[in-house]
Amino acid sequence: MLKNLPTKSFRFKDFTIEGYSRAAVQSYWRIPEFKIGFDLGAQPWSFMGTPTWLVSHTHLDHIAALPVYVARRRMMKMEPPKIYLPEHAVEPAQQVLRVFSQLDRGRLPCEIIGIVPGQEIELSRELVVTVKATKHTVPSLGFVIWERRRKLKPEYLGLSGEKIRDLRLAGTDITEEHRMARLAYLGDSSPEGLDWNPEMYEAEVLITELTFVAPSHRKEKIHKMGHIHLDDILARRAKFKNELIIATHFSTRYHATQVRNIVERALPDMLDRRLHLWL
Ligand SMILES: [Zn+2]
Ligand SMILES: [Zn+2]
């Protein structure tokens, strides 16, 4: 497979997290097993098979590859993709595609869908995404992927298979939906994006931005820029129930070793070994 961009990969239970993110450079993530991606700051050649993308906000490091991605899928004769964007961005994104279509002299077929906090997106029978409000310097969204299963309602748990079959045949709804938050993606946000959405702390996997780590970068200033500082993570350590916390979107002001040293000094146990620095 052609390698045009850096990507990292991490296996968690039955799914894989792939991607890369540095502030002001580029962010792109995908979960191949869920057939879904987050942000289009750039587009690794290997990611084009993922047909559905959720864009957290329209800063260029999160959306610049939109025309490239759509064009590649068309060239490779893949179905037009579905791209979900914050509602205000739909019209400008369509304009951008029209202009690139003129420049490139090729159609850019895709479905652009506006979304707002509180909305649900059905990915499949088993998977649903909920759209969350976050806080950044432009309108921004976070996402939670839920796995849903139908389970027997508690009042029917003790019944025999035969009785259950009879109830089912009589048209009784004997099951109810159970949801499990598999993965939360914060996008770019100040800590409110976590605090407003308790699911972010409870999902099995959390991908959170951690743009600033150095003590000299004051967190008050960082919050105004719509980002998270290492101090914010420290202050919330008891809240994280996640099995895996991926910290990413580090500022380009830091080298990888610098980030590692500062975080390991502040959090020697790396949140009980659950914290993974995506470097
Ligand atoms: Zn960013
Ligand atoms: Zn941003």
Average pLDDT (144-160) is: 93
If you write DSSP's letter for every residue of the chain in order, what string do you get? ----S--EEEEETTEEEEEEEETTTEEEEEEGGGTEEEEESS--GGGTT--EEE----SHHHHTTHHHHHHHHHHTTPPPPEEEEEGGGHHHHHHHHHHHHHHHTS----EEEEE-TT-EEE-SSSEEEEEEE---SS--EEEEEEEEEEEE-GGGTTS-HHHHHHHHHTT---EEEEEEEEEEE--S--THHHHT-THHHHSSEEEEE--B--TTS-HHHHHHTT--BHHHHHHTGGG---SEEEEE-B-TTS-HHHHHHHHHHH-TTHHHHTEEE--
Q: What is the pLDDT of residue 218?
A: 86
Under the banding of pLDDT at 50, 70 and 90, the label for residue 93 is very high
Q: What is the whole-number distance in angstroms between the Cα of residue 57 and the centre of ligand 2?
A: 7
| pLDDT surpasses 90 at 217 | no
Q: What is the whole-number distance in angstroms between the Cα of residue 157 and the centre of ligand 1?
A: 48
Mean pLDDT computed over every residue of the chain: 97
Q: What is the whole-number distance in angstroms between the Cα of residue 136 and the centre of ligand 1?
A: 10
Q: What is the whole-number distance in angstroms between the Cα of residue 25 and the centre of ligand 1?
A: 7
Model pTM greater than 0.85? yes
Q: What is the whole-number distance in angstroms between the Cα of residue 29 and the centre of ligand 1?
A: 13
The residue ranking higher by pLDDT, 234 or 158, is: 234
Under the banding of pLDDT at 50, 70 and 90, the label for residue 39 is very high
Share of the chain above pLDDT 90, in %: 96
Q: What is the pLDDT of residue 220?
A: 86
